[in-house]
DNA sequence: GGGATACGGAACGGTTCAGTTGCGGAACGT
DNA sequence: ACGTTCCGCAACTGAACCGTTCCGTATCCC
């Protein structure tokens, strides 16, 4: 519905004379929405604050979206993630590169704050959750899965048994860490996940030990 | 401050005649607060809804707490977790028992919903975060740490290298799963974390492989 | 018994926000 | 040139909620 509305307004059949919608206003409003979302969370986010923060009037928002929910979903979907998985030649190098992007660079700290800000709202809004999935969750999972699959193809590791779980490790632990201990993520934190959990896990062969060692 | 207020009201020096505070109202209100918190999250939680849900009047709440924040913190702190780590004789057995408690039983599904409901509010309220830590995060970590330490003492596994990280695995992955895919947690989910991630990780010896296998 | 206080319930003023409308001005098509 | 539509801004109505106050009733200490 969001995309449809966008189509109506841009290539609409009922556009005659008059001033056009200013595309720079769209971008400014979406940016402001994501920035405030990361700062104060979805529930405390107000349309008025978004407008003010973008130097716009509320009417400019309601000319484009039906309200907060539609604007935030559209902002999330417009937020293009970097999909390209790195290829440094080794699994450790690829993971380190992903970690470097995730902690140091500009995009990802916003991503994780947005995740925290959206958390409480996701269970009650399927559209929000779908956009959250498409732009924040799945790209990470795909990049990680590609890195592991390349390592398998190189013969560096055996096929990963629970790939779904393994590619969730970094985002899950980063999110948990942000909830339990708010503030900036130490770059070494992601590194210790890689070195302390992921690499030992995927480098170890399949384990088939006895369950009862103390008869 | 919350505990101090409680002391003032119960053993207060300035209590003369008149009807006493009904302790059953305290419990009903705290229960209602946690139940609604799990359902709709902290931000949408209203004092009015808590009172109505507990069959009480708002005045009964404001006689005890200064507002929503203090009530929720007090409710969290009154929520006594089961600390006792199981001791089945094997690491796998202990972990399976923890998993059984976490997914099937009554207390823990509420716990995880409360965690989701609190998520967006934690970064901006240190008292809330402290209570969250004390009653929802640390007990889980302590139980898991105790289980691993006993396994080390039995000689079942080598000392766990990144214990802080390893004991975060279950809560982090469960929380992440709840956010990304709301609804009930499949009991098999926690089991696959144990079998697919934790056990392979702690059973594998320290890994010291070469970083560059493709010269 | 009598004064004091808690109880559920209802009402009230104050604040915040949603969503709409009007204003003066600017940008577009015809 | 002219009408149409966008722009930022401000004002407005209505809803939701907070925190307080009052009511009639019930419970406690003295």
More confident site: B184 or A163: A163
Q: Cβ contact (<8 Å) for A119 and B119?
A: yes
Residue A46 contacts B, CB cutoff 8 Å: no
Within 7 A of a protein CB, which nucleotides of strand D? 3-11, 16-23, 26-30
Size of interface A-B (CB pairs under 8 A): 155
Q: Which of B161, B167, B170, B174 is nearest to B194 (CA)?
A: B170
The dihedral sign for the CA sequence A118, A121, A122, A127: negative
Tell me the pLDDT tens digit for each residue of A71-119.
Answer: 999 999 998 877 788 899 999 999 999 888 776 555 566 888 899 999 9
Q: Please write the tens of the pLDDT for every residue from A133-186.
A: 999 899 989 999 999 999 999 999 999 999 999 999 999 999 999 888 877 888
Chain A residues with beta carbon closer than 8 angstroms to that of B121: 41, 120
pLDDT exceeds cutoff 90 at B194: yes
Whether residue B150 is predicted with pLDDT greater than 80 in this model: the reply is: yes
Does the CB of B57 fall within 7 Å of any strand C atom?
A: yes
B204: alpha, beta or left, given left = phi > 0 and alpha = psi -120 to 50?
beta
Q: How far apart are CA A198 and CA A170, in angstroms?
A: 9
Confidence band of B24 (pLDDT split at 50, 70, 90): very high
A44 close contact with B: CB closer than 8 A: yes
Residue nearest to nucleotide C22 (CA to C1'): A59
Please report, rounded to a whole number, the percentage of residues in chain B having pLDDT higher than 90: 64
More confident residue, B136 or A37: A37
Q: Is the CB of A20 under 7 A from strand C?
A: yes
C-alpha torsion sign, points A41, A44, A46, A51: negative
- Chain A touched by B149 (CB under 8 Å): no
Q: B70 CA, C14 C1': separation in Å?
A: 22
Distance CA B123, CA A83 (A): 29
Closest approach of B16 to chain A, Cα-based (Å)? 43
Residue in A175, A197, A204 closest to B162 by CB = A197
Contacting B residues, span 109-148, partner chain A, CB-CB under 8 Å = 115-124, 129, 132-133, 137
Residues of B in contact with A151 (CB under 8 A): none
In this prediction, residue B8 carries a pLDDT of: 43
Q: How far apart are CA B7 and CA B1, in angstroms?
A: 10
pLDDT at A106: 54
Which range is least confidently modeled, A170-174, B97-101, B203-207?
B203-207
Averaged pLDDT, B72-80: 94
Q: Helix (H, G, I), strand (E, B), or coil: what is residue B127?
A: helix
Report yes or no: B13 at the A interface, CB cutoff 8 Å: no
Range in A6-20, B17-31, B51-65, B104-118 the model is least confident about: A6-20
Mean pLDDT for B136-153 is 93
Candidates B68, B48, B66; CA nearest to B58 is B48
For A125 and D18, how far is CA from C1' in angstroms? 26
Nucleotide lying nearest to A48, CA to C1' measure: C17
Which residues in chain A have Cβ-Cβ distances shorter than 8 Å to B197? 162, 165-166, 169, 197, 201
Q: With 50 as the cut, is the pLDDT of residue A13 above it? A: no
Q: How far apart are CA A140 and CA A118, in angstroms?
A: 17
- A213/B137 touch (CB, cutoff 8 Å), yes or no: no
Residue B34 CA to C7 C1' — how many Å?
22
Q: What is the mean pLDDT of residues B168-197?
A: 89
Q: Give residue A205's pLDDT.
A: 57
Which chain A residue is nearest to residue B153, measuring alpha carbons?
A: A214
Q: Which residues of A touch B179 (CB under 8 A)?
A: 115, 119, 122, 175
How far, in whole angstroms, is CA B169 from its chain's centroid?
14
The reply to whether residue A122 touches residue B154, judged by beta carbons under 8 angstroms, is no
How does the average pLDDT of chain A come out, rounded? 86
DSSP state, residue A43: T
Q: How confident is the model at residue A17 (pLDDT cuts 50, 70, 90)?
A: confident
From B207's Cα to the closest Cα of chain A, the distance in A is 6
A168 contacts chain B (CB < 8 A): yes
Task: Please enumerate in sequence order all residues whose Cβ is within 8 A of that of A112, keeping only pairs 6 or more positions apart, or say none.
Answer: A174, A175, A178, A185
Find the helix or strand (DSSP H, E) in which B148 lies.
Answer: helix B138-153
Calculate the angstrom distance between C1' of C17 and CA of B25: 33
pLDDT above 90: percentage of residues in chain A:
65
């Amino acid at each position: 519905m969001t995309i449809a509305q966008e189509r109506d307004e841009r290539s609409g059949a009922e556009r005659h004379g008059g001033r056009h919608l200013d595309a720079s206003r769209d971008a400014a409003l979406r940016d402001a929405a994501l920035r405030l979302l990361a700062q104060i969370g979805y529930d405390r986010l107000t349309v008025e604050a978004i407008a003010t923060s973008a130097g716009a009037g509320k009417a400019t928002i309601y000319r484009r979206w039906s309200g907060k929910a539609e604007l935030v979903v559209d902002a999330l979907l417009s937020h293009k993630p970097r999909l390209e998985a790195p290829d440094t030649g080794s699994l450790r190098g690829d993971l380190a590169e992903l970690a470097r992007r995730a902690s140091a660079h500009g995009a990802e700290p916003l991503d994780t704050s947005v995740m925290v800000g959206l958390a409480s709202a996701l269970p009650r809004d399927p559209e929000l959750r779908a956009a959250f999935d498409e732009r924040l969750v799945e790209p990470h999972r795909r990049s990680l899965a590609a890195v592991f699959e390349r390592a398998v193809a190189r013969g560096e590791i055996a096929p990963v048994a629970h790939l779904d779980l393994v590619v969730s490790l970094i985002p899950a632990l980063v999110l948990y860490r942000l909830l339990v201990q708010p503030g900036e993520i130490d770059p070494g934190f992601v590194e210790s996940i890689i070195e302390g959990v992921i690499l030992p896990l995927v480098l170890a062969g399949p384990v088939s030990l006895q369950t009862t060692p103390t008869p």
